[in-house]
A and B are shown apart, each in its own frame.
Chain A
Amino acid sequence: GENVEQHPSTLSVQEGDSAVIKCTYSDSASNYFPWYKQELGKRPQLIIDIRSNVGEKKDQRIAVTLNKTAKHFSLHITETQPEDSAVYFCAGGTSYGKLTFGQGTILTVHP
């Protein structure tokens, strides 16, 4: 089955800096890669996703890139703000709908 590895497990940045979280996956059949944000005490919520026919996708300050050959994808957050502090999860899945999640990254943005 699919295996998704996520790094780093913790990331600390200063407000205004950029943050990058990286994930690798094992199943070449995976074609859907969402990113979820989980604030303290809250449920995970989708922030951005990318499909295997696209190399990059942006939404305001966040972007995701996908390298199918290397089987890795990354989340980029620019101009970080304290409210970006949360746990971020990457995931990989197929059209069957089953997702495999990474272990999570605790992002802390210091004012």
Chain B
Amino acid sequence: DADVTQTPRNRITKTGKRIMLECSQTKGHDRMYWYRQDPGLGLRLIYYSFDVKDINKGEISDGYSVSRQAQAKFSLSLESAIPNQTALYFCATSPGGAETQYFGPGTRLLVL
């Protein structure tokens, strides 16, 4: 679904570095989400935003921060990356509550 994009698609970084993952959408949705995917653990919610002025922690927010720069943009930052943050990260959007979430292509992050 080209309407939700993520950059970069792959990233290798070192322990202690600060990195930012970016998500953009052209769907016009108010709601945006960041998930982390690890084998056997499903998709776990890191942060979510229901509009530009609304930011909420998910179940695994420690070590992460987010910024909702505009309706279309939602960025995820790792202030000081650590190896156990190595994972596949997905951004998603939805038009409202109890509605389909549309996922971006994912960012594969490796922290050495």
Contact = CB atoms under 8 A, between A and B. Distances in A.
Interface of A: 1, 6, 9, 31-32, 34, 42-46, 49, 51, 89, 91, 93-104
B59 interface: yes
Contact of B42 (A1, A6, A51): A6
B62 interface: no
List the 5 closest pairs (A to B, CB-CB), nearest first: A32-B98, A97-B97, A95-B97, A43-B103, A101-B43
B96 A45 contact: no
Contacts of A34: 100-101
Interface of B: 1, 31, 35, 40-45, 48, 50, 56, 58-59, 90, 94, 96-101, 103-106
A43 B98 contact: no
A43 B106 contact: yes
Contacts of B103: 43-45
Given A45-B103, A97-B31, A101-B35, 17 more contacts: A6-B42, A9-B40, A31-B98, A32-B98, A44-B90, A45-B1, A46-B100, A89-B42, A91-B43, A94-B97, A95-B98, A98-B48, A99-B45, A100-B45, A101-B44, A102-B42, A104-B40
A49 B44 CA distance: 19
